Amino acid sequence: MAGNGTPDLRCPLCTGEGGTLLARTRNWHVVLAAEHDYPAFTRVIWNAHVAEMSELGAADRDELMRVVLAVEQTQRAVLAPDKVNLASFGNVVPHLHWHVIPRWRDDRHFPEPVWGRAADGRDVAVEARRAWVAARLPSYLEALVRGVNRLLAPGA
């Protein structure tokens, strides 16, 4: 299952961006996922086709985690979520990527993972929350691009 860094033409993350591209470097890129109930759902994707964190060297691992944490910090600063969920599965797409998902007690699935069972009787609150996040999306994206670019600055 482990990748060797060689692009896999059957892999959606080798052949596509995996979302709306926000930032890209030689090693990784950041995209906004298209998840209706979670407008700020963000992914950090390692560019090379590897499956596991332990396939990366220490410096690459650190670099990837710095980006994930920059996304988390931006979500906390701009969106003030009740919780940030970090997840790396790759069961369906075994190409290393992290999901960074701001969560609120009144979102569709809380306290379940966003892939879990939806909460009952929450449609009005869910739509209000979705609209609240969507309204802040431009500020979030601006801060995210700024935060990620700061990582690329010399001495970062």
Q: What residue ranges bind Zn ion (CB under 5 A)?
A: 8, 11, 13-14, 49, 95
Q: How far is the CB of 78 from Zn ion (least distance, A)?
A: 30
98 vs 70: CA distance, rounded Å:
12
Helices (H), the chain: 12-15, 58-79, 123-152
- Sequence-distant (6+) residues with CB within 8 A of 17 are 29, 31, 45
DSSP 3-state percent helix, strand, coil across the chain (nearest 5): 40, 20, 45
Question: Closest approach of Cβ 144 to Zn ion, in Å?
Answer: 23
Choose between 11 and 151: whose C-beta lies nearer to Zn ion.
11
Between 47 and 73, CB nearer to Zn ion: 47
We find the least distance from the C-beta atom of residue 99 to Zn ion, in angstroms, to be 16
Ordered strands of the 20-24 beta sheet: 20-24, 28-32, 42-46, 97-103, 83-87
Q: Report the nearest approach of Zn ion to the CB of residue 101 (Å).
A: 21
Residue 99 or 103: the one with the smaller Cβ distance to Zn ion is: 99
Closer to Zn ion at the Cβ: 51 or 125? Answer: 51
